[in-house]
Amino acid sequence: MATQSVSPVLQPATIGHLELKNRIVMAPMTRSRADDAGVPPDYAADYYAQRANAGLIITEATNISAQARGYPRTPGIWTDEQVVAWKQITDAVHRREGKIFLQLWHTGRMSHPDMHDGALPVAPSAIRPQGQIRVHDGMKDFVTPRALDADEIPGIVEDYRRAAANAKRAGFDGVEIHSANNYLLEQFVRDSTNHRTDEYGGSIENRLRFPLAVVKAVIDVWGSERVGIRISPVTTSPGETPVDSDTMSTFGAYLSALSELGLLYIHDIEGVTQVSRETGSEVSFSELRKRFNGAYIANNQYTLSLAEKTLASGDADLFSIGRPFIANPDLVDRLRAGAPLAEAPKEYWYGGDSTGYSDWPDMRR
Q: Is the dihedral of CA 244, 70, 118, 82 positive or negative?
A: negative
How far, in Å, CA of 255 to CA of 3, rounded?
Answer: 42
Give the interface segment with ligand FMN, choosing from 147-155, 199-207, 212-220, 294-302 (CB under 6 A): 294-302
Q: Is 134 in the site for ligand FMN (CB under 6 A)?
A: no
* 201 closest CA partner among 313, 126, 104: 126
Query: In the range 175-204, which residues lie near ligand FMN by CB under 6 A?
Result: 178, 180-181
In single-letter form, the type of residue at position 98 comes to G
Which member of 14, 203, 249, 274 binds ligand FMN (CB under 6 A)? 274
Q: Which residues are known to be catalytic?
A: 183
204 or 235: whose CB is closer to ligand FMN?
235
Q: Is 27 in the site for ligand FMN (CB under 6 A)?
A: yes
List C-alpha distances in Å: 93 to 36, 139, 168, 179, 236.
Answer: 24, 34, 15, 25, 33
Which member of 63, 299, 310, 328 binds ligand FMN (CB under 6 A)? 299
How far, in Å, CA of 159 to CA of 93, rounded?
Answer: 26
Contacts of 242 (CB under 8 A, 6+ apart): 190, 192, 193, 236
Which member of 33, 99, 109, 230 binds ligand FMN (CB under 6 A)? 230
H or E element in which residue 286 lies: helix 285-289
Query: In the range 54-93, which residues lie near ligand FMN by CB under 6 A?
Result: 60-61
- Other Cβ atoms within 10 Å of 121 Cβ, number: 25
Minimum CB–partner distance for residue 326 and ligand FMN (Å) = 7
201 or 299: whose CB is closer to ligand FMN?
299
**Helix intervals (H) in 7-78:** 43-50
56 or 204: whose CB is closer to ligand FMN?
56
Q: Is 321 in the site for ligand FMN (CB under 6 A)?
A: yes
Contacts of 116 (CB under 8 A, 6+ apart): 66, 67, 69
Minimum CB–partner distance for residue 181 and ligand FMN (Å) = 6
280 or 348: whose CB is closer to ligand FMN?
348
133 or 147: whose CB is closer to ligand FMN?
133
Which residues bind to ligand FMN, rule: CB under 6 A?
A: 27-30, 60-61, 103, 178, 180-181, 230, 269, 273-274, 299-302, 321-323, 349
